Structure formats: structure tokens, C-alpha cells
Structure 1
Amino acid sequence: MNVEQPFSSSNRKIDPSRRRATQLFKPDGTPLDPDRLEIGPTDVAFAEWEALGITPPNVERMRKVRLDRTVAEINRRGYGGCLMFDPLNIRYASDSSNMHVWILHNWARACFVGADGHMVVWDYKRCEHLSAHLPLVNEVRVGAGMFYFVAGDQEDAIAAEFAAQIDDLMRAHGNGSRRLAIDKMELHGARALTARGLAIGSGQQVMEHARLIKSEDEIAAMRCAIATCEIAMAEMEKACEPEIAETELWAILHAENIKRGGEWIETRILSSGPRTNPWFQEAGPRRLLEGDLLAFDTDLIGPYGMCCDMSRTWFVGDGEPNAEQRDAYRVAYDHMFANMDLLKPGVTFSELTAQCVHLPEEYRAQRYGVFMHGVGLCDEFPSIYYPEDFVEGAFDYPLEPGMTLCVDVYAGKVGGSCGVKLEDQVLITGTGYENLSNYPFEERLLG
């Protein structure tokens, strides 16, 4: 097999003249050009955000800050560069996107950022044009795909050719370091890099810490994504009546997100009635009944690729909740806000675990996996565990202004007939926190 032909690098430089085809721009600074390559919010979304008084981010400035943070973290940890295959890390560093969900399990794309800021994106074959609008991407190549579906029995040969490119880039842009951070990679690729004398470290650590503090533009983008998600949730709630199927409700959330330029949803966790206990059951064909609880977790990747991870539980129909439903809801509601009130700059992740409010004993066995977690382009570092689940030495970092977190709770007794899931998204400020979530809670269940 000729390895060079179908999988070789193009070394194509981006043509800056292609980036400014028009001098008219949308509110986020992107070109007002319906034929442009970049994805983004729709006119519907911009109009809704304006009506809500939400200012979109400046996209070019957001991209620059993200690259600067990536480069700073590479240098802070003594690496010559970071090689990324995780599509969310690629998105963060470059804002380049292509077949996002497919790439999550077919690593045909990669991104290298050197210690000097030089960036190379490897895309799927004949997709180089998808990064033509990105001024921070210095080169686009192909040939990073070395998984069996695309490489077959030549995976080692392709890995060796790719490793040679990385070796050259490290020598040219790595500031003399032979330490390379990699977030995830096929084993034969990693072996080919170590055979060239490169010392491999944790790229996931580099990128999670780069992504930890959000810029003003990222926070603006998150506000936009949350607004879009909450508009979609309102459409769901309108349809949340007896006889509708769980899957039909879930389809509304997805459709309304896509309509506004949102991108995808990470899970399909929505359940009703007895399926709300235990938690983590996915939307199925069950039709809602009068008097059910309907609970869901959005896990929504909205406009700008920003995550809105919120949970709500609704009462179905016109009746009155029973005592078990009200008790679970009140426990969840009080628990979430009590733990939220622990948030302020300087408190460490491990201190949050030590100080957290516990669920009542009868609810602890089915507690949620975390009671807080980071959020950005998806659920991100850190995980804030209950004391029973704490990993010693794993999370010894302080809260800082600009971090964004989700505060979670699930309340359901073992063998109970129902369960309640609630979750809000918050921003750490200079003095405490701001709750970014605006969607109302179920008054009938709080009564």
C-alpha cells in the first residue's frame, strides 16, 4: 500500500483573503454571509437573545483567548506542544468542527498546538476547506486517521508517517522540549511517537485546565446557549401532557436546539412515572400518565458549542402531587441550593466535598454520582464528589472567578415509585456565584 497517497499531509496554508468576503457582520462578529463555511446561531436565536437582553460573544476574540490559554498551559507544564484527538479539545483550541459526533468515536481529526502557538489541524480527507475561515489555524493537513476503519492493516505505517510529522513540528515549534502532551490516541500512534524519543504526558490535564476559567466571551456564549435551552424546555413543557411519549418530548428539545443553531445533545436521559427511579433511564416509548413525574437532564450542546446542563422535574396533568412526590422534590430542591451556597472563590474542590450538605439517609443509596461538576463545551473538570465517593488527592484546586459549574441532585428512595432530578448552572464571581439558570421550578411540587 502507498501510505503517502491517500493519507499524506497537504501542508496547505490558509489563505487569509478568504476570511473577509464581506464587511457586514452578525452581532457576534462573524460574517453576515449565508454561504459561509462556519456554523453558528440562526437569525431566530439572535432575535430571541436581543429580546432577552443577552449580548452574544465576540467570536474572534473568544478564539484568541482560548488559544492563548492553551499555549500558556502547555508552557506552564513544560511541554513542547499538545496533540489533541478529543474533538472538544480540538474545538476549544481551534474552533474547528467537522462531523462532531462521528469524530467522537472515529479519530480522523487531530490538532497540534506548539509551545510557540503554531497550530496545525488534520482533518478528514478532502475536508481541509472547513477551517478556511479560522485565522489562528496556520496549516491544515490530512492523515491523522490511523484507526482500523480507515487504516486497515496499514495502521502502523500510517502511524509512523504521522509521528514523523509531529516530530518535525516539535523540533520547529516546541521551544526545544521533547515532552509532548496527548489527550487520547490510538496505541500504535503513541508507540510511534515514543519510538522517536518523544516523552508523552497528559494532554487531557493540559486542556481541562486550559478550559477551566471562562473568558467574558465564553460566559456570554454560555448565556446564549442557556437561553436557547430554556426556550426549548418551555416548548417541551407545553407538550408535557398525558399520553405523549417520552421520546416525543425529547425530540422537541433536540429540534428546538438545532433550529437555533445548537449542535447536539450528549445523552437522552428523560424518564417518567416509575422509570424515574432509579435514575439514568433513557427516553423510551412509554406514554405519560396523569399524576406522573417527568424528569430529564438536558446535556445540551447549544450555539457556539457551549453546554447547557440543566435538570428539571415536572408533574404531569391537572391533579395534585402525592406525598412521596412532594417529599422527594423538596429534598432535592433544598439540597441543591444548600450546596450551591457553599460556592465562593478560594474554596477548594476537596473542601466542598468536606462541607457538602448530605442527603437524608433514605435517599443516599441512590445519590447522584457528583453533587457538582465543571461545565463548558461539555461536562468538564472538576468532579465534586460526595464524601463517600471522594478520590483523595485528585481535586486539590481552588474555585476561581470565571469557573462555571453545575450543581446536581437526584432524590429517590430505593424501591420508591418516583425520583426527582434537579440541576442548575452557575458562574463563580469575585465574591460568590451567579446562578445562570432561569427556568422556574414546579410550584405544585414545592407546596
Structure 2
Amino acid sequence: MANFDWHAERSDLSNIALLDRAPESEGIDLRQVRLYRQGRVRQQMLKYGIDAVILSDPINIRYATGTRNMQIFSMRNAPSRYLLLTANRSILFEFTGCLHLGEGYETVDEVRPSKTASFVAAGPDIHLRERAWAAEMNDLITELVGKGATLGLERLNANVSIALRELGLTIVDAQKPVEMARAIKSPEEMKCINASLRATEIGVGKLREAIRPGLTETALWSVLHQSIIEQNGDYCETRLLSAGQRTNPWFQETASYVIGENELIALDTDVVGCHGYYSDFSRTFHSGPGKPSGVQRDLYKVAHEQVHYNMGILRPGMSFREYADRAWDIPAKYYANRYYLSAHGCGMTGEYPYLYHHGDFPDAGYDGIVEPGMTICVESYIGEDGGAQGVKLEQQLLITDTGIELLSRFPFEEEMLA
């Protein structure tokens, strides 16, 4: 790939040009990735009898078009930008002053200004804005696919959904077709996932090197965050780094806790990295200066065993129920603090499917088939109920036609396995 000409015409400095020609895009046909993903959504729409979908979740918009704009803001202020997708038309409604961000994408036929139907934008008369919004969208959908169409929605105000139904549209949930579309990755899409993982592993390496007693959790976590951003990643979706006694129970957000000597430090990356793809693996480190204790090593070895056992049983064609029945049996003393999932899908975020533990399957589980092209994260958290510390480990992998391919390559701690 030729070096980017920073003195080229302004058209070459557009959003899409910079993203497609960035260093992390080397060797990836992003046009093919975008067309594949949009085709997947349309295939699922046809399968479930949906004439049109309105997507307002920015992750789903990015999946279906490749466009991005103020991801976190858009999540909080939906619908501030949204996509109308039919079998043969893709219209992106972009935030005020941002229409240029949707230009040049082969997955976007037209860019129009959005009309935000939120309370902060519309004020006390929001119901009038919502009804006007619904009427305009109904007219457009009728023009494109006919009267009384079946419309899929995934994130819209309740009053907008009600108004659309009152106008004669058949409203269905778009979550299923979109999630089923996202679940199967193309070979070119896998290049994006691997690029995100490699960048995240660089960041985790820098974090590991920075570990020392006396550093706060927040200072340590910021090392990863800085590395992700400087490599053109998007953001860290969670703040899951904790140390010492704050490693048990899990899910304690990174705080001002000062890391002590010879403590465990547990990390779940949860990185939305370059190209918008999720890089999701977990590691647990030791702060030094001494060696890990026997208790710390035992916790680590048990977590390591759980992850690798469950990776070993995953195969294409396996049902979710079969996986739950065959999965590693969690020892009783760790069961209460078990991670809430045994494994989960992973793409542009954590996604379908969720694979539950055997004991949780009757109440929470659902069945399905593990398919080639799915990317799966296998989870473990090991810590006794009321214990002083715990270990979090996780691996990201691809389901292939014959088995699995390990995607996350960051090493485990040899001194914890000794």
C-alpha cells in the first residue's frame, strides 16, 4: 500500500479515506467487509419477513454501513442518527452538521439530516416531534416498500413505536435478525478482529510493564486506554481492572485504590478497537516484588483449567445445551462467585450467543447451534464467596469448519502456573 499523501486534495482527507488507508487497514478490503455485513442484515430481514428496519444503535449502524459518528453520544441520545434499510435502499439520517461523514460509502445510497426525537431536543412538546417523526418515516417507508409494511425496530422511543404502529405499519423487533447477521464473520471481517486484538495486546503489554506497588488502579488502567486510542481504537467499554481485595467479588470498577505489594491485579479488556471490533480477553497479574503465594497460584490454575477445558469441548454443530451439559464442573467453593456466563459471542461488541453454565441453563439458557464463523469468548472467574482475592481469565477464539482457532495471543503468567 502506498504511503498516504497528507498534502493531497481535501477529498482524499475524508473520513472514509483516512479510515480505509490507516496503518491498521493494511491488507484488509474494508469495502468487502462493509458489503458483506450489509448483505448479512438483508439476508436476515428476508428470512424473517421484514420489509424495512430502522437502526438507531450506533454499533448496528456501523455494522450495516461502516459509518461512525460520536458513538457514545449517539448511544445516549438516541435517535440522534439512524439508518433506514430496505432490500434495495440504504438511507442514513445523520446528526446535525455531520452529513459529510456518511459520504463516499458504497453501503449508503443517500444521507439526510436527522430529526432528533428526544426530550432534551424537543422539550415538553416531545410528543408532537415524535408523531411528526413517525409520519415522515411512514411516508418514506410506504414510498420505498408499500403501504402497511413490516418494520423492524431495535432502539426507539416508546411513543415513536406506538405512532408508527398507529399509522398502519406492522412493528417487529429487529434485534433477532441483526444479532443473527452479526454472529457469522467473513474471512475479511476476521482480519479486522485480529487487527483489533493485536493492538489491544500491545496495550495490555504496556499495562503489564507499568505494574508496580504504589500505583493506583486508575493510573494503571489509563496505560491501556492511551495505547488503544493512539492505535486508532474507539474506547474501552468497561472499567474492569481491580487489585488486591477488590478482585473478589468480580465487577468492581477501576477506582483510586493503591496497588499493594504482592497483590493480584485482574483485567478484562472489553476494548472496542480499530474498525470498531471488540477485543475481549482477560488476564490476571501479580504486583510483586515477591513471588505469588500458593493460594494465588491455586486460584490461577483453576481458572486456567476452566478456560482451556471449555475451549477443548467447543466444536461446530454443537448445541448450546450440549455445551452447557459438557462444560467444566465448577467446584462448590467457587460456584457462588462464578462468572455469569460460561462463554459468549463477540464481534463489534459482546453479542449472540450467550452460553450459560449447566446450573444456570434451566432458568437463563436457550438453545441454538455453534456455527463456523462465530467468534466466542470463553470466560472464567475463580474466587471463593467471601474470599480475599480472585482470578479472571478469558480467551477469544473463532469457530472453524473443523474446530476452533485461538485468536487472543497474550501469554498467561508462567510464574502463576508454576
Q: TM-score, normalization: structure 1? A: 0.88
Give the 3 Å change call, closer, same or farther, for CA 413–393 of structure 1 in structure 2: closer
1:209 partnered with 2:187: no
Deviation at 1:282, TM superposition (A): 1.0
Give a deviation string over 1:372-418, Cα, whole Å, max 9, x none. 00000000011111122225696322111110010000000012111
How far apart, CA to CA, are the structure 2 residues paired with 1:92 and 1:212? Answer: 11
Q: Is the 8 A contact 1:295 1:312 kept in 2?
A: yes
Give a deviation string over 1:210-267, Cα, whole Å, max 9, x none. 1010011110000000000000100001101111111111111111011111011110
Gaps of 5+ in 2: none
Structure 1 letter corresponding to 2:157: E
Structure 2 letter corresponding to 1:344: R
Q: Is the 8 A contact 1:372 1:406 kept in 2?
A: yes
Mapping 1:190-339, distance limit 5 Å:
190-339=161-310
2:42 corresponds to which of 71, 74, 86: 71
Structure 1 residue matching 2:340: 3-state secondary structure? coil
Deviation at 1:176, TM superposition (A): 6.7
How far apart, CA to CA, are the structure 2 residues paired with 1:25 and 1:44? Answer: 9
Aligned to 2:89: 118
How far apart, CA to CA, are the structure 1 residues paired with 2:394 and 2:379? Answer: 5
Structure 2 residue matching 1:390: 3-state secondary structure? helix
Aligned to 1:35: 13
Aligned to 2:371: 400
1:102 partnered with 2:67: no
How far apart, CA to CA, are the structure 2 residues paired with 1:41 and 1:263? Answer: 15
Give the 3 Å change call, closer, same or farther, for CA 139–32 of structure 1 in structure 2: closer
Structure 2 residue matching 1:425: 3-state secondary structure? strand
Q: TM-score, normalization: structure 2? A: 0.94
Give the 3 Å change call, closer, same or farther, for CA 348–144 of structure 1 in structure 2: farther
Deviation at 1:25, TM superposition (A): 7.8
Deviation at 1:122, TM superposition (A): 1.2
Q: Is the 8 A contact 2:264 2:284 kept in 1?
A: yes
Q: Is the 8 A contact 2:20 2:30 kept in 1?
A: no
1:355 partnered with 2:326: yes
Deviation at 1:352, TM superposition (A): 1.1
**Coordinate RMSD, CA, aligned:** 2.1
Structure 2 residue matching 1:120: 3-state secondary structure? strand
Deviation at 1:94, TM superposition (A): 1.1
How far apart, CA to CA, are the structure 1 residues paired with 2:417 and 2:12? Answer: 46
Gaps of 5+ in 1: 1-22, 47-54
Structure 1 letter corresponding to 2:77: N
Deviation at 1:172, TM superposition (A): 3.3
Q: Is the 8 A contact 1:332 1:421 kept in 2?
A: yes
Structure 2 residue matching 1:410: 3-state secondary structure? strand
The count of aligned residue pairs is 412
Give the 3 Å change call, closer, same or farther, for CA 259–33 of structure 1 in structure 2: farther
Counting aligned pairs with the same residue, the percent is 34
Moved over 4 A (4+): 23-26, 31-34, 41-46, 391-394
Deviation at 1:83, TM superposition (A): 1.0
Structure 1 letter corresponding to 2:81: R
Q: Is the 8 A contact 1:110 1:144 kept in 2?
A: no
Deviation at 1:443, TM superposition (A): 0.9
Aligned to 1:342: 313
1:83 corresponds to which of 15, 38, 54: 54
Structure 2 letter corresponding to 1:206: P
Q: Is the 8 A contact 2:148 2:170 kept in 1?
A: no
